[in-house]
A and B are shown apart, each in its own frame.
Chain A
Amino acid sequence: QVQLVQSGAEVKRPGASVKVACKASGYTFSSYAMHWVRQAPGQRLEWMGWVTAGNGFTEYAQKFQGRVTITKDISASTVYMELSSLRSEDTAVYYCARDLVASIMGYWGQGTLVTVSS
């Protein structure tokens, strides 16, 4: 069965960077796109960007342009999301979500809490 297992919680200082991993199993890794979505405390879900299957094209929400980078390591079946220049407003749970088909987020990781605090 499809499983997405994310790396553990992180605590970062303002201005630092964080890199969250999402290890996939149970399917052909290179055949599906992966999204990253975050949720600040008490807030709505927020789409950050995605990396497509195959050629690994990336698209990011304009809000995060210049600060977010999504990469994938096919040999490790892992997708990474790195967010730089962290500020307190970036405190959130970060989720990876695999395409079911055509941009539909059908499978989700368990979430990774990133806390930004001085």
Chain B
Amino acid sequence: EVVMTQSPATLSVSPGERAALSCRASQSISSNLAWFQQKPGQAPRLLIFHASTRATGIPARFSGRGSGTEFTLTISSLQSEDFAVYYCQQYNNWPYNFGQGTKLEIK
């Protein structure tokens, strides 16, 4: 099965600054990658799919890139509501594994 590894585990960034989160797949998954945001006590929310397509209603400050095994989620100019845990997930092969998450915290 495909193992998803995210880095860093925790990222401390000041509001208004840019954050870059990484996700690596153990084998090629083409562009079949999604990013989710999860806040405490809430269900995950889809941000990005097909590695770079924003879901409906997601602000343009969220962008994704990559293909194959290396992917990046970038959040430009962080807002207070962006501090959360972010998960990548591959949907190229069953089981559709998630990464362990990156916690984005206020610096």
Chain A positions near chain B (C-beta within 8 angstroms): 35, 37, 44-47, 59, 61-63, 95, 97, 100, 102-106, 108-111
Contacts and interface: CB of A to CB of B under 8 A. Distances in A.
A37 to B, nearest CB: 8
Majority secondary structure of chain B interface residues (helix, strand, loop or mixed): loop
A110 B43 contact: yes
Given A95-B43, A100-B55, A104-B49, A45 B87 contact: yes
Interface of B: 1, 32, 34, 36, 38, 43-46, 49-50, 55, 87, 89, 91, 94-101
A63 B46 contact: no
Contacts of A37: 44
Nearest to A50: B96
15 contacts: A35-B96, A45-B44, A45-B98, A46-B98, A47-B98, A61-B95, A62-B1, A62-B95, A95-B43, A95-B44, A103-B91, A104-B34, A104-B91, A105-B89, A111-B43
A105 B38 CA distance: 14
Contacts of A110: 43
A47 B97 contact: yes
B53 to A, nearest CB: 9
Nearest to A61: B95
Nearest to A93: B43
